[in-house]
Amino acid sequence: MRGITKTFPGVKALSGVDLTVRPGEIHAICGENGAGKSTLMKVLSGVYPHGSYDGEILFEGEPAAFKDIRDGERHGVVIIHQELALVPYLSIAENIFLGNEQTRRGFIDWNDTLRRAKALLQRVGLRENPQTPVSDIGVGKQQLVEIAKALSKEVKLLILDEPTAALNDEDSAKLLDLIVELREQGISSIVISHKLNEIRQITDTVTILRDGRTIESLTVRQTPAHEPELSEDRIIRGMVGRDLDHRFPARTPYEGADAGELALAVEGWTVRHPVDHQRTVVDDVSLTVRRGEIVGIAGLMGAGRTELAMSVFGRSYGQYVAGTVAVNGRPVVTKTVPAAVEAGIAYVTEDRKRYGLNLIDNINRNVSLASLPGMRRRGGLGGFVDEHHERQVSERYRASMNIKTPTVFEQVGRLSGGNQQKVVLSKWIHADPEVLILDEPTRGIDVGAKYEIYTVIDRLAAQGKAVLFISSELPELLGMCDRIYTMAEGRLTGEVTRAEATQEVLMRHMTQTRSTGSKS
């Protein structure tokens, strides 16, 4: 790719970007959210057709002028987006050959379809019946189905956009091993990822983008013995244009008169699965968060962290069985989401696109969603929003949260993941909650945007807010939290202070099962 420039109304997303990928290479693309990574790959794969951008693309030595994504696939360039493009109600086999059906005399040849699907699943290491509905398999297996789908199209260059963002450690390891196996089979891969440890583990070359421009390409493993391997700090320096000597901001203590008072107290909280009422997903959980305190919750996939957060926040998950909630020492009943908001609780969901934002609306309206009563016109009819005040508020958060957009009337769905997360935080911060529950607040976000969000969280705690911080990244919890609770199988298995906490200590608590007991 030479001199690729792509412009949207009011924004130059790419400016003269160069990229070279060698045959049989795993090539990583790194950059902050909004750097242009996904846009560049959409240009390469034909999502943005030839003629909608400036510059040239050569594939296997020949000029490539893909008119659409199907044209790119016919040449062997296949992209797997971060949001998987599978139909949940169709079978694995049907999804693999969707749009590429195996036919005979104008009819689908189901025997050939199932036979070929089984061979492709075996190639990606997935032991599932090809007739299994996609909705019945986990996200990790769905990623493998996407790769099997790409292999069915005789892929030569596989593009993966944040392939492990939604996967647990075990599924991530399997997927990375598969990408390496494909390299051994001569298939080149381009991987967009913010997980620098994974990049250093499997990739051959890293190209860094910043503000829509190519900064540099780096070899991950140096050939001469005296030269060190590429470090994470070196990649970060290229991504953000500066050294991040400290990945987390220094904690600013809250010094109000009520510092240390209980802001949130959850007692004996028990919730059953929304469908299988015999299954307990949150089991007799009790925890506290004080004013000005950041308290973490650590746990493996399925430990019950999100189920706990959602059920406390308006009982928006599962079947409530027992338990009480108190805010600032006052018992509250949070049977609905409005009741939880009224009680002073806010919840930033881990799935910002599904539950946190209205993607087809603009930043201005998304910021005001959780606090519409405060946006009413003064005087006259009270049922109308004061649009001037609404814009003042959204403009203030655009500046203070450093949301990278030319206007607050930009559609939220067009923003990068990091900027979308800042809009979600702005929405709930403006609601002025006493307790802020953050569920994976930095998932899918680069290190530069992470630091900005960490700074916002620290600022909220310094103002006396109580923060409950759920994360799958143990270094994040260790760097941000004053105390950390651990969960396993829906129960609390430990409570560790900042001074006592290490990854080893947390992992020991997180892996305790009912058979081993809750004591360490």
Q: Are residues 82 and 157 in the same domain?
A: yes
Kindly report the average pLDDT of the chain as a whole number: 86
In a domain, 192, yes or no: yes
In a domain, 105, yes or no: yes
In a domain, 234, yes or no: yes
Residue 99 pLDDT greater than 90, yes or no: no
More confident residue, 170 or 312: 312
In a domain, 247, yes or no: no
pLDDT (0 to 100) of residue 46: 94
Of the spans 225-234, 275-284, 483-492, which averages the highest pLDDT?
483-492
Distance CA 331, CA 314 (A): 14
Q: Are residues 223 and 277 in the same domain?
A: no
Residue 340 pLDDT greater than 80, yes or no: yes
Q: Which of 383, 412, 431 is the last residue of a domain?
A: 431
User: 457, 248 in Cβ contact below 8 A?
Assistant: no
In a domain, 354, yes or no: no
**Of the listed ranges 19-23, 63-67, 456-460, 515-519, the one predicted with least confidence:** 515-519
Q: Are residues 18 and 154 in the same domain?
A: yes
For CA atoms 409, 411, 416, 419, the dihedral sign is positive
pLDDT in tens, 70-98: 999 999 999 988 777 889 899 999 999 99
The CATH number of whichever domain residue 321 belongs to comes to 3.40.50.300
State how far the alpha carbon of 206 is from the alpha carbons of 61, 392, 402, in Å: 22, 41, 27
pLDDT (0 to 100) of residue 10: 65
In a domain, 353, yes or no: no
- What is the mean pLDDT of the segment spanning 161-184? 83
More confident residue, 409 or 82: 409
Q: Which of 431, 447, 468 is the last residue of a domain?
A: 431
pLDDT (0 to 100) of residue 226: 44
Q: Are residues 281 and 231 in the same domain?
A: no
Domain range holding 408? 359-431
Residue 136 pLDDT greater than 60, yes or no: yes
CA angle, corner 501, sides to 499 and 503, nearest 5?
Answer: 150
Residue 130 pLDDT greater than 90, yes or no: yes
- What is the mean pLDDT of the segment spanning 12-29? 93
Residue 459 pLDDT greater than 70, yes or no: yes
Residue 388 pLDDT greater than 60, yes or no: yes
Q: How far is CA 55 from the centre of its chain?
A: 31
Question: Confidence class of residue 225 from pLDDT cuts 50, 70 and 90?
Answer: very low
Structural domain count of the chain: 3
- What is the mean pLDDT of the segment spanning 475-497? 93
In a domain, 250, yes or no: no
Question: Confidence class of residue 53 from pLDDT cuts 50, 70 and 90?
Answer: very high
Q: Are residues 378 and 484 in the same domain?
A: no
Of all residues in the chain, what percent carry a pLDDT higher than 90?
Answer: 45
Residue 274 pLDDT greater than 70, yes or no: yes
pLDDT (0 to 100) of residue 221: 63
Residue 419 pLDDT greater than 90, yes or no: no
More confident residue, 379 or 495: 495
Give the number of other Cβ atoms within 10 Å of residue 479's Cβ: 16
State how far the alpha carbon of 181 is from the alpha carbons of 26, 160, 172, 464, in Å: 11, 15, 14, 51
Question: Model's pTM, two decimal places?
Answer: 0.63
Mutual orientation of helices 139-151 and 110-123 as an angle, nearest 10°? Answer: 110
More confident residue, 245 or 403: 403
Residue 379 pLDDT greater than 70, yes or no: no
Residues paired with 282 in a beta bridge: 271
Question: Confidence class of residue 387 from pLDDT cuts 50, 70 and 90?
Answer: confident
pLDDT (0 to 100) of residue 153: 87
In a domain, 249, yes or no: no
Q: Are residues 87 and 179 in the same domain?
A: yes
